[in-house]
Structure 1
Amino acid sequence: MDFTLLIIIIILALIFDYINGFHDAANSIATIVATKVLTPFQAVLWAAMFNFAAYFISKYIIGEFKIGNTIAKSVDEHFITLEVILAGLVAAIIWNLVTWKLGIPSSSSHTLLGGFMGAALAKAGVFSQIIDGKEIDVINYAKVVPTFLFIFLAPLIGLIIAYFITVLILNICKKANPSKADRWFRRLQLVSSALFSLGHGGNDAQKVMGIIGAAVICYHMNMGDVAYTSLESADRFAHFVEDWGWVPFVSFTVIALGTLSGGWKIVKTMGTKITKVTPLEGVAAETAGAITLYLTEHFGIPVSTTHTITGSIIGVGITKRISAVRWGVTINLLWAWVLTIPVSALLAAIVYYIFSIFM
């Protein structure tokens, strides 16, 4: 039964990975499509290629998968079961599909995290328990609190960096020939969107890895596998990556395939509804988003690529004037961001209770 559940979880996690790809395709391509530098098909092909290339950077240049480790340890191992992970995944898939259908650029990262935590809390029934004489929190706050904070900090950082990059470019290029500068920035958008797609792949594919890792570790612990039970908790994820080396490769491949499918409703929201974007501003927004993603990946903080690029687009918008940003759309997006974790957590708790009746 446990092995069957593990296989179901891996399949569902990869389905989520695929959905994440087409849900978040807009993050990488919205500005490059809005400025007509590439056609929609060319744009998703470009983004997917660099989503996949991020695997080689994470494995061979960075040398570890910090964000996957953070997701895997967002819930204390005493409260992780295969049923908890399954319920969290089902809830995350439902919420992602609903927001995609409505064209709302919500965070796949926070959907997954909310689902995982909500199902674990439903299993425990409390926020902490006394285990072996020690009070253990269900949620690993040291891992989760930075993620909560970056719901607001990631777009703010993206906004600030994008604002200053735009102002810097405008000052450097103020005497340039407008048509010649426009041609150059169209070419540079290929570079900036590639950089952002690398950050998107490295950030988001690892989240699925983290969930699969939590399931695999749980399965081996239940089986009494000495290769896992003999290790300290902090070392188990690294052993999983080494032991199940195909999981990172497949996770990055599937998110790239999802990106190829596109997410056109969200492209429209990101590329045209927040503010009108020129090639120059597209370069600034994507570069700012990429810098933010690389910084947070370095510290192992799973952030939303959606939040990051939205903040960056707002940052370039306010360099023109405050009214250039459609604040009504932006406020609606903010509500979606704030509600994603609690709604997906509640949904996961309901799914877990339903599963507990039949499993």
Structure 2
Amino acid sequence: MPRTHTPADADPQLAARVRAELGAGAAGPLTALEGGRSGLTYRIDAGGMPLVVKAVPPGREPVGRHDVLRQSHVLSALAGSGVPVPAVVARGDEAPAWFAMDFAQGTASEPVLEPSDTDHVLGRLRMLAAARVLGALHAVPVDRLVAGVVRAGGVPPEVAGPADELARWTRTMHAVPAGIRPGAAELLDRLAATVPEPAPPVLVHGDFRLGNLLCTGTTPTALVDWEIWGLGDPRVDLGWFGVFTDGALFPGVGGVVSGLPDEDELDDAYRAARGHDGGTAAGTTWFRALGRLKMAAIMGHNLRRHREGRHHDPVQEQLPPTIRALIGSAAALLDRDPS
């Protein structure tokens, strides 16, 4: 979603801590970068090389989406795995915690949220390349991943199954005023009544999409924004990724982009890259519906925060038609599901 504010440069005390840890080659301020809503993201030059620094916001506890060190642990664990991630070069545990990583080249864009009359072919090729990255990510052995997280100083999370994932987003949706989520209660009931058996667990990114994958041309260079990674069902990532194939799900905030692969095509590319099915063939429709529910819940949450004055962002007022479209599409998928 577009943002309506510009982030400020880092507090000088944080900048001094980062420069001290990085050594004599680090110079200049921590310059703010546009990014997500979790943590703070900056750029600093160290020995003539740019680095990206993520830090806990001042006054915030390092929990949930603000736990930047947790993000650094999974990045360290993925080093040498073949999954394109930036290398972690330094960490600071003292509050506010931070870590520094390589500055990856490339750009990230979400075609259906930033529709254009050009680059349809580029969007298609990038999405197929992203599906192959997801296959490689899910092919990383869980025991290797867990060992890497521990070596980096982290604590591996518990494995979450489909029921856990549904419960998580059910709580988020229930916090959204009923008037802006018509049909959500019925959708939640239907999903709860048909929860699939879990597939063998993998490393789940949690927000896997083109908007979080830097590319140069059609080549992925870095998968970023690891705020909600976990160990769980691979179909969670697949179902979420598929939401971004259809611009019709985003009326008012996006648009249809011709030529993008559909969800079946992405699944095929994913499985070819992973090398086996991984238990992802069953329950496909349920997870696609869950992905739509998740997006509707997130958008409803953001709109609620804006209307309550907790995060002023008038752009959020464009979301109600998309929330309705997502819930309606999820219900229609379940209506058509032969199982």
Q: Same fold (TM over 0.5)?
A: no
Higher relative contact order (CA 8 A, sep 6+): 1
When normalised by structure 1's length, the TM-score is 0.26
When normalised by structure 2's length, the TM-score is 0.27
